[in-house]
Homo-oligomer: A and B are copies of this chain.
């Protein structure tokens, strides 16, 4: 199987170093238009573009912040004499998808134009600061950010799980021990062979005073991802609080009278 589209999809890797060249307005329009054409048709996502390379992550010439935009949807519905009854939890469930589907099409479009991209997931956790900087009104919440520009590095594509660990035929089959270990080995050896974490300086420190037993000769994907989910974002308030500040109420704070 091969065609120009599959080649672009297979060649994807994040770019964290950009030249000073600024993609043309025609490119920007083509990228966002491609994003809009993604499903679903609900179009809950809005995009804010910041061209401030000096302050953008990786000094990228373009930084797109993709948001769930209930403010716009609620205005449309008001003009039809409707108000939203869908719970914010479900609304966000679909909104996160709309923003992600749009982001992925933007990535593919940009890379087809010879540009590089990097998707950044921290936006929800710093939503207050982003809302201030981007003038996001109530009922608009940032889901994900995307840097785009001309690549100033040529990294290899990064390892992925073996296909048989990700794809189940007919029904979900719990992988046997050997399969899980093989998957971990392929990820770890793959990243180590690229010296990825050393070059990125990306080792996550151990918390709670635990002694470090890894070096960049041994630290790889399974340890890295374990340190994320094993140490970070333990409190639901890390999400519910920024959501509440933007007027979204889920779970425990649904009855918050301050909302």
Contacts and interface: CB of A to CB of B under 8 A. Distances in A.
Interface of A: 1, 3-6, 8-10, 12, 14, 26-27, 29-30, 32-34, 36-43, 45-51, 67, 71-73, 75-77, 79-80, 82-87, 89-91, 93-94, 96-97, 100-101, 103-105, 107-109, 111-113, 119, 121, 124, 133-137, 140, 143-144, 157-158, 160-161, 163, 165-175, 180-181, 183-184, 221-223, 225-236, 238-240, 250-252, 254
Contact of A166 (B32, B76, B112): B32
A226 B243 CA distance: 23
A4 B6 contact: no
13 contacts: A3-B4, A12-B39, A41-B225, A43-B166, A45-B166, A47-B168, A73-B225, A76-B222, A86-B232, A87-B235, A105-B108, A134-B171, A137-B172
Contact of A85 (B105, B181, B229): B229
Nearest to A89: B236
A234 B83 CA distance: 12
A164 to B, nearest CB: 10
